[in-house]
Amino acid sequence: MKNLPLSKVYQLLEPGPVVLLTTARKGRPNVMTMSWHMMMKFEPPLVACIVSGNDYSFAALRATRECVIAIPASRLASKVVKVGNCSGRDTDKFKAFGLTPMPAQDVKAPLIAECFANLECKVTDTRLVNDYNLFILEVTKAWTDPAQKNPRTIHHQGFGKFAVDGKTIALKSKMR
Amino acid sequence: MKNLPLSKVYQLLEPGPVVLLTTARKGRPNVMTMSWHMMMKFEPPLVACIVSGNDYSFAALRATRECVIAIPASRLASKVVKVGNCSGRDTDKFKAFGLTPMPAQDVKAPLIAECFANLECKVTDTRLVNDYNLFILEVTKAWTDPAQKNPRTIHHQGFGKFAVDGKTIALKSKMR
């Protein structure tokens, strides 16, 4: 994994890919599937996300205030759905679905070796957790896998239907 | 435009498309390009979005507490970038770029006729506006254009580079 400048993190999340969110509590890592996230600030990168109170990850995220956002390319789509179809309450999802946890640097939550990007995050604002399950995260470290060139991400349209990135278009833009 | 059940709104925004945000203030409509948004709740649909204090739309959104999220298909990409490259301060963007404002039902902000979906929204929570420019919107009415079948959306990767929806995959999922 290669270090990615934090100023480039938005380029990974702004397109709205399905991501995996890892946590670790009492030495036990877990992972969930997540689509409800958005960029909030370029640098330091702030990210908002919704983690439902029904998700087993909710308590770990709230207690440890740490997580990793791991971004899977389309070849991992079936694993991403399997991760979303069960709970860490009764399943070791890393083992069950052949995902490899790797130590992170700033947080105890693991990186996922198979993902093309991994973002280490700390919870920085919990004001809207009680009302909306909305967590605000600061990305403190970002990693990409140089071996995965031009990864295509997946975008959830509901009920397990995903759009995969197709062609890329480049237009003259002042937008960062 | 055909009415879309509010329970299906997440299927439009969860994939993370670039959207247009319209506002209207003192009888003057405006439109901006936006990628920083996420679903927060299925029904009634709640959406979070970031509208920068530098954007001309910010003051209109804060004052009127109303907007429309209009979703463009890929054929509108060049207009979407042009909308993002200038300001409503000095440009009537609807006229400049050939976008057609249409009256909405619940809000004064206009729908955009060329977009395949339009979501009428009211601001319901401004607690995080001062700190992060984060608005929480409730979608009160949703419209789709039946003439635009299987629209492909665009996803911004930074500096005017967009991924267009490619193939669709369907996997057996318990995820809504």
User: For residue A174, what pLDDT band results from cuts at 50, 70 and 90?
Assistant: confident
Instruction: Tell me what pLDDT residue B43 has.
Output: 97
Query: How close, in Å, is residue A106 to chain B by CA atoms?
Result: 24
Any domain includes A79: yes
Which pLDDT score, from 0 to 100, does residue B173 have?
A: 87
- Predicted pLDDT at B174: 84
Q: How confident is the model at residue A2 (pLDDT cuts 50, 70, 90)?
A: very high
Nearest C-alpha neighbor of B7 from the set B45, B46, B49, B47? B45
What is the rounded distance in angstroms from the CA atom of residue A14 to the CA atom of residue A53?
25
* pTM tops 0.90, yes or no: yes
Total domains in chain B come to: 1
B143 contacts: CB under 8 Å, gap ≥ 6? B1, B2, B3, B4, B111, B117, B118, B119, B120
- Has residue B62 been placed in a domain? yes
Given an 8 Å threshold on Cβ–Cβ distance, is B161 in contact with A153? no
- Average per-residue pLDDT in chain B? 97
Percentage, residues of chain B above pLDDT 70? 100
In sequence order, which residues have a C-beta less than 8 Å from that of residue A23 and are 6 or more positions away? A29, A30, A31, A57, A60, A61, A64, A66, A67, A109
Question: Residue A93: phi, psi to the nearest 5?
Answer: -70, -30
- Write out the residue range of the structural domain in which residue A70 sits: 6-164
Query: At residue A75, what are phi and psi to the nearest 5 degrees?
Result: -65, -15
| pLDDT tens by residue, A144-164 | 999 999 999 999 999 999 999
Say if B173 falls within a structural domain: no
Give the per-residue pLDDT at B176.
83
Question: What is the predicted pLDDT for the residue at B131?
Answer: 98
What pLDDT does B175 receive? 79
Q: Say which of B46, B85, B132 has its CB closest to residue A40.
A: B132
| Two structure tokens written together for B22 | 């319209």
CATH number at residue B68: 2.30.110.10
> Does pLDDT of A176 surpass 90?
no
Q: Give the tokens for residue B143.
A: 């419209």
Mean pLDDT of A34-48: 98
**Beta-strand pair A134-144/A117-125:** antiparallel
* Residue A87 counted as domain residue: yes
Nearest to A18 by CA among A140, A116, A126: A116
* Spatial CA neighbour of B51 closest among A50, A49, A48, A40: A40
Contact A175 B159 (CB under 8 A): yes
pLDDT at B125 over 90: yes
Residue A44: the pLDDT is: 98
What is residue B55's DSSP assignment? Answer: S
Q: Give B33-50 pLDDT, tens digit per residue.
A: 999 999 999 999 999 999
Q: What is the helix (H) or strand (E) element at residue B38, kind and residue range?
A: strand B37-41
* A:50-79 residues touching chain B, CB 8 A cutoff: 50, 74, 77-78
- Give domain status of residue A132, yes or no: yes
Hunting for tokens 């509108």 — which residue is that?
B76
Q: What pLDDT is recorded for position A175?
A: 79
In a domain, B176, yes or no: no
Look at residue B175 and tell me if it is in a domain.
no
d(CA B93, CA B31): 7
The pLDDT score that the predictor gives to residue B155 is 98
Does A166 contact B161 at a Cβ distance shorter than 8 Å?
no
Q: Does A1 reside within a domain?
A: no
Instruction: Place B81 in a pLDDT band, splitting at 50, 70 and 90.
Output: very high
Tell me the average pLDDT of chain A.
Answer: 97
